[in-house]
Structure formats: C-alpha cells, structure tokens
A and B are shown apart, each in its own frame.
Chain A
C-alpha cells in the first residue's frame, strides 16, 4: 500500500519532468536549428544591402529598417498612453464598477486576435482616415496592440512601490501629483522600462497587424516619410516562404532572415528578462 503510493508519485512526477523537458528541449533544438541553417547567410552585405534579382539575392536592410520604424512608432504611441493609464489604475482609481469595466476592457483588448487589429487598422487608419498603407498606420495599429502589455507591466511595478513612500511624501504636505511624479514614478521606472522592452519585442515580431496597414512585398526606395510603405522582417519571412516563385531557391535567405528576426526579438526579450531579475534581486526597499 505504502509502496504503491510512492510509486504513483514517482510515475506522475516523472511525467511532469518529462513534459517540462520536452518544452525546453524543443525550444532549444528549434533555435539551434535556425542558427545552424542561417548563420552562413549572415554577412555585413546581407544586413546592409537591399534585396536584388526579384528577392533571390542581396540583403534585407530595408526590412530591418522598416521593422525599426514600425516598432519605434508603436512604442512612441503605447508607452505614454500605457504608463498614464497604469498611473490612474494604480494611484487614483478606487474600487468600483467603473474600474472593473476599465479592467475588463484592458483584458479584452489584450485578447483581441492580431488579425482583427489588422482589420481595425485597415478600416480606421488606412481607409477612414486616408493615411493609406504606411508607417503611421502600422505603428498606430501595433501601438494599440501592445498597449495592454505596457499597462500591465507598468501597473505591476507601480503597485510594487511601497505604500510608505507615498505616505511619507503626502505627510510632508506634498500634493498627490508631485508625489506621483517625483516619488512613485522614479521608483517604478525600471519595471516600467522592462515591460516596455517586452512590448517592443512583441511589436517587432508581429506580422498579421501590419499586412494590410504598412507592409510591402518590396520597395525600391527607402521610406522618406511616415506616409510611406515599408518592408518589415516578419512580413519578409512570410513573403519569401509563401509567395515567391523561387521558394526552394531562397531557403537560405529565409533562414538568414529568420535568424535576424529571432535574434532581434529574443535578444530584446532576454535583455528585459535579465534587467528584471536584477531589479528583483536588488530590492532597494
């Protein structure tokens, strides 16, 4: 009887460990596979030249640049909006029906499928506001897509600032706004930045929202204003892998582009994760 109980335990925990191992191994094998297949393509020319010969040769510089513009635009929109929303939720809002509705709204926005964001961007920015398919439309769409991520991370780090900080400041007769801007926000800043970095990673890797709002198969010249279409890394991967007439021939370029994309996205995520674990260990209060 006793032995059976422990046997069951061993059996179950073995399965649990195996599941964890399967997940970790598949990620590791996958990334190793991409690195192995892609590293030979990576060269200075690959990173700095535009594609040539109907995208079967040359580099991916316009796509890297496009992803940079789109991501920078998205964060420029989402960061101020997200942080201010988080300040309201954490510092001003009481408990009540309205707050509950705002929270449900944020959760639901976080759950909206990325392709629906694409449709929304197409309907509002491209068609209704007549921006056309361009950096501005794509950045706005991606910005709203990552807004819930930024709000969540900012609120969490604002909540982690000890209540005593606020009480000490208010006790000295400082106004609420000054307390927030001089005491609470600076203390929460590292956490807010980490959350924003994760948002950047998300925006850089998304494809569906920019398909109808910003991305082009191929552009002859680099964008000169925010009303120009751009190439983007994730969309470039999709195009090369599905739409070309030389899909097999461009496989090496596809692996190279993917390597650049995941190095960018996972690199950004990794930086955020490392900074965050540092902050958690330091705990200045």
Chain B
C-alpha cells in the first residue's frame, strides 16, 4: 500500500471517530422516538403536552405532562435567580479581584463543586435543608420548590462561573487600559467595558447553566417533593420531568402506555435542553469577537 493511501485511510478512520458523537446524538433521538411515540395512540400530542392531569396508573389513566413541564420550568427559574448573580460575581471575583494565590485556590474549589455527585447534593437537601425549612417556616413539607431551587443553583454555579470567567479573561487588556486612562474607576471599567465586551460569553454561560439545571435529575427527584400539580407558592411540591421519569420507569410495565409516556417526556426534555444548547451555540458564535480591532 502506498504511503498516501495509508494516510488517507488513517484520516478516514479519525473522521469516523469524530462522527461518533453525532451518531450517538442521532441514536438518542431514534430510540426516544421509537419508545416514546407509541403513547400518541392513547393520547393526542396536544393533550399530552398541555393536559393538566398526570395520573399514569389510574384506570383510565391520564397522561398530561403540563404540571411536570411547569415543575421543571419553575425550579429552573428560581435556581437561575440565585445562580446567575452568584455565578457571574464569582467570575468577576476570579478575574478582577482575587490575588493570584487566592485565585489558584478558588478556581479548584469551583471545579470541586462541579464535581460533587448530584445524588450527594440531593441527599443534603433531603436530610438537612428539608427538616430545617419545615421547622423554620412551619410548612407541611420541606421538600419543595425553594429547597430544590437552592440546590440546583449550586449545581449551575460552576457552569456559569467558569464559562463567564473564560469570557471575561478573553477581553483584550487594551480595553481595560484605555478605560483606566480615561479616568474610570475599576468598578466603572468592570461594569461598562469588561462586562459588555464579555456579554456574549456570559450569556452563553447563563444559558448552559440553565440547561444544566433543567436536565438535572437526582436533585429534583429527591428534593422537589414529587407532587404532579401546578404549584401556587414556592413552598409547594412539584414533580419536574426528570424526577417523574426516574421515579416511575422502574414501576411502569414494559411497553405499556405509561412506559411510552415516560419516553415521550424524555423527548420533551431532550428537545428543551437541545434548544437551550443550540441557542447557546448560536449566541457564542454570532457575537464572537475576532481580535481586539473588530469590537
């Protein structure tokens, strides 16, 4: 075999390996559809998505996942309210305020937070925060939106902090120097020069952080309380989509409507997070700065 032919074969082999990710993504879609679509023999897509009642084991069962969707969105929203400011502040701290030794220490701490297994954080919510909430606020259960949101926020903080930090770090040094030369304070430079210049990266960070929160399973399974109803206060229990799938798949009879309905819920969850990721990708490319001159 000639050398160039061998090189070509090697190149094709590497190319095939690079395609594996796309292949897996495709297989995920195929198998979600294969196992999920049959539920639409039993319920129309409209009733499935917007039905208010999730009673999969009743006779007759009702498969409306609107309360699950609302549950997912509510915990994600409240988690974001906590995680976005904390995450961005952490990024500003690392890149603008921390002295080099503190920085060397603080960055691994954030990474360790990212590495904490979700089941451990879920346990924390169940065994420590829930009893405390229950007692302090005198509510029937501490397993509720507030508890789940706080813990989800801590899962989203590392994503938001590290991607925002990258974005802030990438802002050219000249921008800062120019701002200081005009007499701006460090605060004014941060708020009016650095943050606006890093905004696309920070937006990407926020979107990916929210995607992380919406797809997180163990925390909402253990801490959100599991009530499949539309919540009325932050002390109500909810049943976000991942919690419903994880809790019920073990009991759903194989290839029953319930089983298919859980796969269909997985489809909804998948496309929701896919949308978040595609938007993040679009934002980070659309507003990418190329060199300092183009801004």
Residues in chain A within 8 A of chain B (CB atoms): 5-6, 8-9, 12-13, 15-17, 19-20, 22-24, 26-28, 30, 33-34, 81, 84-85, 87-89, 91-93, 101-102, 104-120, 122-124, 127-128, 144, 147-148, 151, 175-177, 198, 201-202, 204-208, 211-212, 234-235, 237-238, 241-242, 251, 254, 258, 261-262, 265-266, 269-270, 273, 277
User: Could you tell me if A258 and B89 are in contact, using CB atoms closer than 8 angstroms?
Assistant: no
Which one of B25, B89, B108, B269 contacts A115 once the chains associate, using CB atoms below 8 Å? B269
User: Could you tell me if A109 and B24 are in contact, using CB atoms closer than 8 angstroms?
Assistant: yes
Residue B169 lies at the interface, judged by CB distance under 8 Å to chain A: no
27 residue pairs bridging A and B, Cβ less than 8 Å apart: A5-B188, A9-B185, A9-B187, A9-B188, A19-B85, A19-B89, A27-B109, A27-B112, A85-B20, A85-B21, A91-B14, A92-B14, A107-B277, A111-B208, A115-B215, A115-B217, A117-B28, A119-B31, A119-B35, A120-B27, A123-B32, A128-B31, A148-B21, A176-B11, A177-B6, A208-B242, A238-B222
Residue B42 lies at the interface, judged by CB distance under 8 Å to chain A: no
Chain B residue at minimal CB-CB distance from A240: B123
User: Could you tell me if B242 and A8 are in contact, using CB atoms closer than 8 angstroms?
Assistant: no
> Smallest CB–CB gap between A28 and chain B, Å?
8
> Smallest CB–CB gap between A117 and chain B, Å?
8
Given contacts A119-B263, A148-B21, A254-B123, 9 further A-B contacts (CB under 8 A): A5-B185, A9-B188, A20-B98, A24-B106, A113-B242, A116-B270, A147-B20, A207-B118, A238-B122
The stretch that binds A, out of B174-182, B228-236, B243-251, is B243-251
Question: Which residues of B lie under 8 Å from residue A9 when comparing CB positions?
Answer: 185-188
User: Could you tell me if B14 and A84 are in contact, using CB atoms closer than 8 angstroms?
Assistant: yes
Question: Which residues of B lie under 8 Å from residue A266 when comparing CB positions?
Answer: 112, 115-116
User: Could you tell me if B13 and A116 are in contact, using CB atoms closer than 8 angstroms?
Assistant: no
Chain B residue at minimal CB-CB distance from A113: B215
User: Could you tell me if A238 and B21 are in contact, using CB atoms closer than 8 angstroms?
Assistant: no
With A105-B22, A115-B246, A120-B28 given, is the CB distance from A205 to B116 under 8 Å? yes
Chain A residue at minimal CB-CB distance from B94: A20
Question: Which residues of B lie under 8 Å from residue A23 when comparing CB positions?
Answer: 86, 90, 109-110, 113, 157, 161
Question: Which residues of A lie under 8 Å from residue B185 when comparing CB positions?
Answer: 5-6, 9
> Smallest CB–CB gap between A181 and chain B, Å?
9
Shortest Cβ-Cβ A-B pairs, 4 listed: A113-B215, A205-B117, A9-B187, A123-B31
Chain B residues 171-227 with CB under 8 Å of chain A are 185-188, 191, 208, 211-212, 214-218, 221-222
Q: State in angstroms the CA–CA spacing of A105 and B17 once bound together.
A: 13
User: Could you tell me if B269 and A26 are in contact, using CB atoms closer than 8 angstroms?
Assistant: no
Which one of B115, B127, B221, B249 contacts A122 once the chains associate, using CB atoms below 8 Å? B249
User: Could you tell me if A85 and B17 are in contact, using CB atoms closer than 8 angstroms?
Assistant: yes
Which one of A119, A122, A234 contacts B119 once the chains associate, using CB atoms below 8 Å? A234
Residue B135 lies at the interface, judged by CB distance under 8 Å to chain A: no
Question: Which residues of A lie under 8 Å from residue B250 when comparing CB positions?
Answer: 211-212
> Smallest CB–CB gap between B180 and chain A, Å?
13
Chain B residue at minimal CB-CB distance from A217: B250
Residue B145 lies at the interface, judged by CB distance under 8 Å to chain A: no
Which one of A12, A89, A106, A116 contacts B28 once the chains associate, using CB atoms below 8 Å? A116
User: Could you tell me if B97 and A17 are in contact, using CB atoms closer than 8 angstroms?
Assistant: yes
Residue B81 lies at the interface, judged by CB distance under 8 Å to chain A: no
Chain B residues 79-133 with CB under 8 Å of chain A are 85-86, 89-90, 92-94, 97-98, 104, 106, 108-113, 115-120, 122-124, 126-128
> Smallest CB–CB gap between A189 and chain B, Å?
17
Q: State in angstroms the CA–CA spacing of A113 and B246 once bound together.
A: 12
> Smallest CB–CB gap between A243 and chain B, Å?
10
With A105-B22, A254-B123, A269-B111 given, is the CB distance from A208 to B89 under 8 Å? no
Question: Which residues of A lie under 8 Å from residue B276 when comparing CB positions?
Answer: 111
User: Could you tell me if B15 and A88 are in contact, using CB atoms closer than 8 angstroms?
Assistant: yes
Question: Which residues of B lie under 8 Å from residue A113 when comparing CB positions?
Answer: 214-217, 242, 269-270, 273
> Which of A20, A88, A208 gathers most chain B CB within 10 Å?
A20
